[in-house]
Each structure stands twice: as C-alpha cells, then as structure tokens.
Structure 1
Amino acid sequence: MSVAPKLRVARPSDDLDALLRFYREGLGLDLLYRFEDHDGVDGMMLGSPGAPYHFEFTRARTHAVGRAPTQDHLLIFYLPHPAEWQAAVDRMRAAGFDPAPPFNPYWDRDGLTFEDPDGYRVVLQKAAWNA
C-alpha cells in the first residue's frame, strides 16, 4: 500500500507575528510548532492537525527577505461548500483582512483573494478541485 506524500510549503519572512495573525486568525489554521534561534533562524509551522500539508515560515535573524516578488504568487484553498466558503471569507474579514484584487481575474469568478503581510496571496476558491 502506498502512502500519500505530505506537503510542506516553506517560505522566509521578516515578520512572523504578522503572518501568524493572518494564517491563524484569518485562515483559521493552527499553530503546530514554533521555534526560536535554531542556528540563527526563528520559525513556525501552521496547518490543521492530521492534514497532509502545513506551512513553515522562517525568519533569519541576519537576513531581510522583503515582500513577494509579484502579486501572482498564490496559495489556493478550494472550498466547494458555499457555507464553508462564506465562513472562511467572514473569518478573514473579521480578522481585519479585506479582499485584494487578483492579478489574474480568473480568481475573482468563484473566489476572493487576500494578501498576507508579506505580499503573497491566498485565494479562497468557492469550487471543487477537480484534478
């Protein structure tokens, strides 16, 4: 029996606390783990316990990374149930995050795009992932 791979998306940041607020309070992810000064790097993992993915954000104490290089760097969450999608949008807005116009207008057809504090975009897509 094969085991499905797990995915970790890792990216550096200059402000872990701002990202924590966006991904935990806005998107509703859990803080799974946080570390400080691991060879000069601080970091955290966010996700949902048992999910096959999580996000790792790190901050090197001696290196600034700046903002996203473009507005088309996306994480897309497919939420096919309208009530679940609306709850996710409401949670983002209640946490103080307003939708941002997407670079690609396709994402406005059945979803909303939000920009995290580093300028990377998250799309809440009201559709099933049919891959």
Structure 2
Amino acid sequence: MNSDLPKIPILRVARPANDLATLKHFYCDGAGFSILASFADHDGFDGLVLGYPQAPWHLELVKEAGVEASRAVGSENLLVLYLPDHQEWQTAVDRMRLHGYQPAASNNPYWDVVGKTFEDPDGYRLVFQNRAWTA
C-alpha cells in the first residue's frame, strides 16, 4: 500500500433522538443497519451507533436525559443510500414495507424518479436510490 495516499476518514453523522427503541426498529429491522456500538447513561446520554460493519460511515442516534429532541426541520434532512443493483434496492424497499414503513413523497422530485424515501419516527428521511453514485 502506498503510504503517500491519504487515509479515508470514517464519517459519523450524529443527531438527537427521542425513542431509541423505535429508531432501532426503523434503522435495523427496516433499513437493515447493524448496531455497531451502543451506550447507556454516558454522562447523561444514551445512544446507538448504526451502519454496515465495513462501511466508512456511521449514524449515531443520541438521547439526552430529560431533553425532548425536536423533529427534523423540513423534509430535506436526508440520508441517501445508493443501491445500483435493482434486486438489492427492491429487497431494501420490500424490507421497509414488511416492517410497516411506507414510502413518503420526496420534497425534491428527483429522489422519486428511481428511489423510495422513508421517514423515521423523528421526521428524518432515508432514501434508497436505485442508481450508482457518480461524481
């Protein structure tokens, strides 16, 4: 491996949450994420770190004791997963529906062309996009 190449950092998106159990159902059972880590009563915070084991990104959901987190402001708070293989994309969409989640119309119609958007219990949205990412 060439040591002159920069290492790719791991991205963690952290956001406040209210009910970690319902979010766990949405992201793990519905979206197929894994629990990568969790913590309880860490200086007044409980949390879940979710994602795919080998992916260079994580989603951290944090519940602060005694604090009610606001719902997502607007409908452009998106996490987008690009799934270019149609069968993998269909499996992801079907799994969400199997667990009781129905697609929501996207604010930006671009995401509805070949994607499906699902809204989590806190109003944040997850898009399964049936395209490959190209820069």
Shorter-chain TM-score category? over 0.9
Matches of residues 1-131 of structure 1 in structure 2 within 5 Å? Answer: 1=3, 2-131=6-135
Structure with max Cα Rg: 2
TM-score under structure 1 normalisation?
Answer: 0.97
Percent sequence identity over matched residues?
52
Per-residue deviation at 1:62?
2.0
Q: Secondary structure at 1:102's aligned position in 2?
A: coil
Distance in 1 (alpha carbons) for counterparts of 2:128 and 2:55: 18
Distance in 2 (alpha carbons) for counterparts of 1:44 and 1:98: 24
Q: Secondary structure at 2:27's aligned position in 1?
A: helix
Cα deviations across residues 56-112 of structure 1 (Å, max 9, x unaligned)?
000001211121111111000000010010010011111110000111111110101
Distance in 1 (alpha carbons) for counterparts of 2:52 and 2:116: 21
TM-score under structure 2 normalisation?
Answer: 0.94
Count of aligned positions: 131
Unaligned runs of 5+ in 2: none
Distance in 1 (alpha carbons) for counterparts of 2:16 and 2:49: 12
Per-residue deviation at 1:21?
0.4
Distance in 1 (alpha carbons) for counterparts of 2:52 and 2:85: 19
Unaligned runs of 5+ in 1: none
Q: CA RMSD in A?
A: 0.8
